Structure 1
Amino acid sequence: MPSPSSADLPDWAQVRALFDQLAALPPAEREAALAASGASAALQQEVRSLLVHADAARTATGGGGFLATPAAATQAPADADRNGQRLGAWRIDGLLGRGGMGEVWSAQRDDGAFDGRAAIKVLRAGMDSQRVLERFALEQRALARLNHPHIAHLLDAGRTADGLPYIVMEAVTGRPIDAACAGLPVAQRLALFLQLADAVAHAHRALLVHRDLKPSNVLVTGDGQVKLLDFGIAKALDPLEGSDGHATVAGERPFTPHYASPEQVRGEPVGTATDIYSLGVLLYLMLTGQRPTGRSASSAAEAARCVLEETPLRPSALTGESTGPGLAVDPQWLATRRTLEGDLDNVLLKALDKSPAGRYASVDAFAADLRAYLDGFPVSARAAGWAYRARKFVGRNRLGVGLATLALVAVVGGGALATWQAVVAQQQRDLAERRFDEVRRFARTMLFEVDTALRDGPTAGREKLVATTLQYLDRLSAERLTDADLLRDVAEAYERVGDIQGNTMQANLGRPEDARRSFDKALALRESLAKLAPDDLKNVQGLFTIQERLGDQTRAAGDLPAAARHYGEALRHATTLARARPDDLKLQLRRIEAARYRASVDYWPFNRSLGRYAEARAQIEQLVADYTTLLARHSAAPEVLEHGGGLLNQRSDFQRVAGDYPASLATQRQSHALATQLLAQQPDNPRWQRWLYLAEGRLADALLETGDTAAGVALWQQSIARREQVAQADPSNERAQRNLANGYGPLAEQLFTLGRHAEALAWYQRENQLLRDLRARHPQVKALVGRLNESDRDLARQHLLAGRPAEALALQRELDARRADALAQPPADAEAAKYALVRAQVLLGAGGVAADQRARLLADARAGLALLEAAADQEPFNALLAREAGLAAWTLGDSLRRGDAAAGAALQQRGLERLRALQTAGHLPRTVVWPAL
């Protein structure tokens, strides 16, 4: 339906006169009087809407209405006392509130997996009509689509024992966002608002419009996190909030007049522009302590009229006289009023435009202007002429560009030159001219040479960009830099260049050594800045980031001592940040993550490390304790749940190394519970789907290792079913297809160790065929080559064990041809050792090996076994390495017995002794089913 133009809208003098007449009548007589008034249809619609607002306001002050109607009082059964009831994993321990449609109860998680609190909305008895049930279900589906750290999360849903639906929400304790802003600097208020804007933008991307944004629906927690309350539930539970125009209008389009958009007040269809207007009202309130319209309104009707009639004042123009009687202006705002002048005035007035078309096109665009303001860039809410853009550019680059601009002025005007020379010393003038030359040369290069290179392809363009930028930065950093802002800018530029050159965590140009040099330069600059401003937390954050990058680079290069040093420094900086802001959830998680990285260099069961097992395990146990405390305070936050999965998996790996499989199982149950909770918040989220099926695979392994074979195999099959569902939904997604193959192979390996060779063969074949298809479709993915080699190796072995020597021999020869270069050398690492052992098993077992080939085959296999046994002997605490060495010796001995019975028997005995020692200590998993044991 098109919105009416201003020419179609009724005159407000007529609206007010007719409203005053009808408001004096009993409600039952108003409709007839309105029809008899002879007013136009548009005028009647406006008056009818205002009468609804007025009735809502009277209801809020105790005059009856929705919450106190006879239907609610006499037709609905009495509400059950749910204290002590258990709903799913939650036990109710108190009533938080009661509204016309439902009740909200506080609850404690009570399933033994984790501690946590929640708020549970239960539909009231007697309200379970088909329409209400559909609305309740719609709210649940809407909430399930939202997964954002600043939106209260849906945790669970179900029905009570008496058949009423309920929704479990994250428990949020905090203050309304306007109250939380009192006394804060403008930048901190904007930072809070940007959290809210991100949440609303997320909802819009999920095709949801909030329609009732107001301070009571936006809380700020004690650790400074904004939480937007659930979509729909707050309106259903609390339709009336007060008598000063805050009443939420009941009906099909609920809203709060003071925060409603003009189109809402007129009863027109609403869209994302409605939320943008309400965000503008909230920001105005957050920055000034006042609403943009209706500051003196004493009723919902008057507030709604003001939304349509009043033009908001520029925030910077507000005075004590303009705020209305009895309304105090925020004293912090009065002290910094000039901050709002200009950009923030324009941003707010654009968001508050009466016409939806005149507002920002999206919440992201609104937020982008605020971020531009904070960073000193031009905003779109004003005509960005050349002079305005120049002022912003100079403001961001006070030293470099500012002095260069003075140099340009000096060249252009002789009078300016004389003034400049009189004020600036010769050394500063020379520096300014050099800076201006650099800026001009850099600008010309970017405009012409890099643009031309980009036309030749993205790689050539990036190479040119890196070369040009490094020349500029190296000349700049060769000077003695003492300006803090310039030091920070140059450091950040070196970091970006290093990322492009060879950051191992993202797409890059494949030049890791050059990247490390750039990162080293960035680190030196940040350390200089730390001497100038030791308490600058923003620079501490930069030091953390660059040390972590250097840790990644040195670890990838195999320099483990350097990696430990850099990760240790990153942890030190992360700890400083976490202690400075103990209520900042992200900083607490970052510290835990930094400590995990540092511990993984000390010891990592499945990768190269410094071998400091005891130190690393103690650190991981401490981190689990820290994380458990954090989880108890933020039991529903997705970022907390996600961090826990990786940490608990790392702990489980240490437990498996120690041969403590029951403890590993308990840890994997916890990790699986976190993944399940994540997916319950947003069932269609591919990331959380992946997280859950990976957790299912790990838990399935733990079940098998403790002897619960049936449950373990069943859970592996469930994990694979999830992977298949994701892979089928997007056949072109190579990663999803590879994850599916990564499910087939481990299940086959477990079945192999259990001696169930026919089943193992079937799963190995499925894995192998999928990897071959993927390799054909994605030849550029190098990781697929290694995975296919592993699959061919395992499948060849399984063909042999299943009594299919011809198939085993054919596949092994194909694999040998692919790995010809590697076969020319004796095995030098664990992976090569495994290939040599399986190759000997297959070729000797299939027969037809010439004598000279047999000797070389056995020599490589013995060398491989020696590598595995040496690794096990170096780590006597490592049950996994001991098991691998024992099984390898037994398998090679079995192959040798066909030509040298005595040597084969001796090897088998050696392997069995190692396995029996594990079994005696209780460190042998139940998946190892060996006849001789």
Structure 2
Amino acid sequence: MTEGPRAQALDPALWPRLSAAFDAALDLPADAREAWVAAQPADLAPALRALLQAHDGGAELPALDATAPAGQAGQRIGPYRLLSCLGVGGMAEVWGAEQVDGPLTGRRVAVKLPRGGGKLAGGRLGQRLIEERALLLGLEHPHIARLYDAGIEAGQPWLALEWVAGRPITEALAGRPQRARLIAFLQVLDAVRHAHARLVLHADLKPANILVGDDGRVKLLDFGIARLLHADGPRAFTPGLAAPEQQRGDALTVATDVHGLGGVLAALVPPAERSRALTAVIARAQAHAPTDRYADVEALAADIHRLLDHRPVAALPDARGYRLACWLRRQRWPLLGAAALLVGTAAALWQADTARREARRAEAANAYLLDLFKTLDRRAPDAAQPEAALRRLLAERSARIEATLPTDPDTADELLRITATLHDYLGDARRSRALAERRYRLLKDRLGLAQPRTQLAGMHLIWPLLASGDLAASAALLAELDPALPARGLLRAEWLLARHDLRERQGAAPAEREALLRAALAGYAADAPQDSGHAATWLALSELHAAQGRRDDALAAVDRALGLVERAQPYIASDHARQLLQRASLGAAGAAADEARALQLLRGSVGLRAPFVRQALAALVARRCAADRTAANALAAEAGVGGCAAAP
């Protein structure tokens, strides 16, 4: 990062004298300082004059020699001990450190120290660090490195930031599908949009300031030169990446960050890989005049979403051919039948037949569910027990599935899947397992293990196997599926989550379990960010952290889950309820509201006696016993768990 013209680097031997002279000059009236500075020795006067001008805001600091570090390994800064220097920038050093005092002893953080050391740090550099602290305190976002702590140690300001283990976004996503890179870029846009909503500019957006962790999560770093919108700030920029107005010294706006984001996108997708539409998006984001760029980050994000959805982008002029191509791509499945008639090839006919079979499966599934719930007769003996009535009806429909198998195995497969899932949510692990096993066996015999449908059926089977406690069968199935599944994608992410659940039941160490969960999160984030398993994996990580006593990490993880669950496909109310109960168990603000919402979701879906929410509800009863034993015991009776007398 560059900050205008710089003087020759200062001799470290000069710093003690310069610091004393600087303090003395500040004690003089402003109109007497220049005469006093001019009387100083020739080796001191120029640097002292530059330092005073920088302090008063009229000039930039002289360069500080990097040979004099701001910190040393083993040094104590506030409650932290410095471990190793992670990087040196134009204004500060970043050190890896660990907390050695307080309730979070052992926590890893990144400590940022202004360069120059001693009382020099109390001048303009120290002031910038204090300003950065004020900015970061207002930024609370999952894709922005969090500010944990800040202070001044022996006159030296410092910041303790979230430790982000990762690689620059261009390096981390190299070789990934373009769609995965664009989805990750949307995380960056969301972080910058959050900052802009709080009137904060980043002003130095580049790949080096955007890291991707092992969990696939993007983290935006270094608001060191950020300034409140419409406030005056230093002329600081990275050569070759800065917007034209930055290089001219003009006022900065949100358009400055839009320019930086365009540069990040250009680095993520090399020219040879860009479509015409993506080229136009980058060109608009990086337009020379701020008024020719996207009006804000929201507008840029909207065009990225259009790219992902194969819709025309706003950045490309209205061209009939381009818009027709987008329409055809979006309508490729509905047009398969027409294409088959026009082209007349066997391949097109096969595709059309496949589409018809898929439509028939979907239609049969919808009819099956509709018929099932229409048949819940209020006059039946079990009308007051809807779960029992649903089990009875499912058993009756099993004969229909058996009759369908010989003539229409595809439709029968879909009905087996639905029935197994319904039994799972009714808590009937035995029946769910039997149906899922049959489905997997039939598909494996008919299509083979290499077919995605067979692999999907195998992953559907793993959950009832785990629910029934058959760890040997679970391990055998995962081992069978492992070499057949692709290295990446939704099924691999689900496999990793299932592997974690198995290893948890086998008593695996927390480190192994966390590695599996983070690998699963990376897969979901890259290839299936809206899948319901993505949120479920964050919940599992939160529960693991909570068991380790890592409350802050547990709370951050469950908040990630809650940020995903309502947009998840499919939305699962019971998962949402478990996440709310987990957040409440951590003592987060609004715990009572979270508990009430969780109970409302459960009562409206699977009820309070579903086996997969039993543990969370038992913990809720235990917490309520101290406040209201009567209400706690009533909840325990409804949920079928131990009441206050049985609570520890």
Question: Aligned pair in 2 of structure 1 residues 425, 95: CA closer, same or farther (>3 Å)?
Answer: closer
Question: Aligned pair in 2 of structure 1 residues 204, 645: CA closer, same or farther (>3 Å)?
Answer: same
Q: Which residue of 2 aligns with 1:154?
A: 147
Per-residue CA distance 1:125-154 (angstroms, 9 max, x = gap):
325659866653442354345455654343
Conserved in 1, the CA contact under 8 Å of 2:189 and 2:301? yes
In the alignment, structure 1 residue 119 sits paired with structure 2 residue 115: no
Q: Which residue of 2 aligns with 1:646?
A: 543
Distance 2:108 2:310 in 1: 42
Conserved in 2, the CA contact under 8 Å of 1:351 and 1:366? yes
Distance 1:742 1:426 in 2: 56
Q: Which residue of 2 aligns with 1:340?
A: 274
Distance 2:473 2:124 in 1: 63
User: Which runs of 5 or more structure 2 residues have no equivalent in the other structure?
Assistant: 16-45, 53-60, 368-403, 520-534, 564-578, 601-616
What amino acid maps onto 1:403 in structure 2? L
Conserved in 1, the CA contact under 8 Å of 2:336 and 2:352? no
Q: Which residue of 1 aligns with 2:596?
A: 734
**1:244-393 pair list within 5 angstroms:** 251-252=233-234, 254-256=236-238, 258-262=240-244, 264=246, 269-288=251-270, 337=272, 339-354=273-288, 359-360=293-294, 362-363=296-297, 366-367=300-301, 369-370=303-304, 372-374=306-308, 376-382=310-316, 388=322, 391-392=325-326
Q: Once the 2 structures are TM-superposed, how far is the Cα of residue 92 of structure 1 from its aligned partner?
A: 1.4
Per-residue CA distance 1:359-406 (angstroms, 9 max, x = gap):
4455455345445535645544446778655544544675x5343123
In the alignment, structure 1 residue 594 sits paired with structure 2 residue 586: no
In the alignment, structure 1 residue 218 sits paired with structure 2 residue 207: no
RMSD of equivalent CA atoms:
6.6
**SS of alignment partner, residue 105 of structure 1:** strand
Distance 2:328 2:497 in 1: 38
Distance 1:504 1:285 in 2: 46
Distance 1:176 1:157 in 2: 26
Higher helix share: 1
Q: Once the 2 structures are TM-superposed, how far is the Cα of residue 213 of structure 1 from its aligned partner?
A: 0.6
**SS of alignment partner, residue 590 of structure 2:** helix
Conserved in 2, the CA contact under 8 Å of 1:571 and 1:595? no
Q: Once the 2 structures are TM-superposed, how far is the Cα of residue 675 of structure 1 from its aligned partner?
A: 1.1
Distance 1:690 1:145 in 2: 27
Distance 1:210 1:492 in 2: 50
**SS of alignment partner, residue 165 of structure 1:** strand
Q: Which residue of 2 aligns with 1:624?
A: 510
In the alignment, structure 1 residue 767 sits paired with structure 2 residue 628: yes
**1:484-633 pair list within 5 angstroms:** 531=448, 546-547=460-461, 551=464, 555=467, 560=468, 569=477, 580=487, 593-595=497-499, 597-598=501-502, 616=505, 619-620=506-507, 622-627=508-513
Question: Aligned pair in 2 of structure 1 residues 276, 511: CA closer, same or farther (>3 Å)?
Answer: farther
| TM-score normalised by L of structure 1 | 0.41
Distance 2:124 2:597 in 1: 43
Distance 1:71 1:102 in 2: 20
Q: Once the 2 structures are TM-superposed, how far is the Cα of residue 166 of structure 1 from its aligned partner?
A: 1.9
Conserved in 2, the CA contact under 8 Å of 1:154 and 1:681? no
Distance 1:225 1:377 in 2: 26
Distance 1:63 1:360 in 2: 40
Distance 1:682 1:164 in 2: 36
Conserved in 1, the CA contact under 8 Å of 2:584 and 2:594? no
Distance 1:745 1:146 in 2: 36
What amino acid maps onto 2:628 in structure 1? E
**SS of alignment partner, residue 401 of structure 1:** coil
Distance 1:566 1:131 in 2: 62
What amino acid maps onto 2:596 in structure 1? E
Distance 1:630 1:282 in 2: 30
Q: Which residue of 2 aligns with 1:70?
A: 47
What amino acid maps onto 2:510 in structure 1? V
What amino acid maps onto 1:214 in structure 2? K
**Which residue, 93, 116, 119 being the options, matches 2:83?**
93
Conserved in 1, the CA contact under 8 Å of 2:143 and 2:219? yes
| TM-score normalised by L of structure 2 | 0.55
Question: Aligned pair in 2 of structure 1 residues 131, 343: CA closer, same or farther (>3 Å)?
Answer: same
Distance 1:525 1:361 in 2: 55
Q: Once the 2 structures are TM-superposed, how far is the Cα of residue 285 of structure 1 from its aligned partner?
A: 3.4
Distance 1:364 1:493 in 2: 42
Conserved in 1, the CA contact under 8 Å of 2:99 and 2:107? yes
**SS of alignment partner, residue 73 of structure 2:** coil
Q: Which residue of 2 aligns with 1:405?
A: 338
Structure (1 or 2) with the larger CA radius of gyration: 1
Conserved in 2, the CA contact under 8 Å of 1:574 and 1:590? no
Per-residue CA distance 1:452-505 (angstroms, 9 max, x = gap):
xxxxxxxxxxxxxxxxxxxxxxx9x98899xxxxx9xx999999x999989959
Question: Aligned pair in 2 of structure 1 residues 748, 227: CA closer, same or farther (>3 Å)?
Answer: closer
Conserved in 1, the CA contact under 8 Å of 2:84 and 2:95? yes
Distance 2:492 2:448 in 1: 25
In the alignment, structure 1 residue 231 sits paired with structure 2 residue 122: no
Per-residue CA distance 1:405-442 (angstroms, 9 max, x = gap):
236xx5xxxxx6xxx55x55997699499689989x99
User: Which runs of 5 or more structure 1 residues have no equivalent in the other structure?
Assistant: 1-52, 236-249, 289-332, 411-415, 446-474, 482-486, 601-615, 634-638, 651-670, 696-721, 750-763, 772-786, 792-818, 823-827, 839-883, 888-926, 928-933
Distance 1:500 1:58 in 2: 67
Question: Share of identical aligned residues, percent?
Answer: 28
**SS of alignment partner, residue 122 of structure 1:** strand
Question: Aligned pair in 2 of structure 1 residues 570, 532: CA closer, same or farther (>3 Å)?
Answer: closer
Distance 1:599 1:358 in 2: 55
Aligned length in residues: 509
What amino acid maps onto 1:767 in structure 2? D
What amino acid maps onto 2:147 in structure 1? L
In the alignment, structure 1 residue 105 sits paired with structure 2 residue 87: no
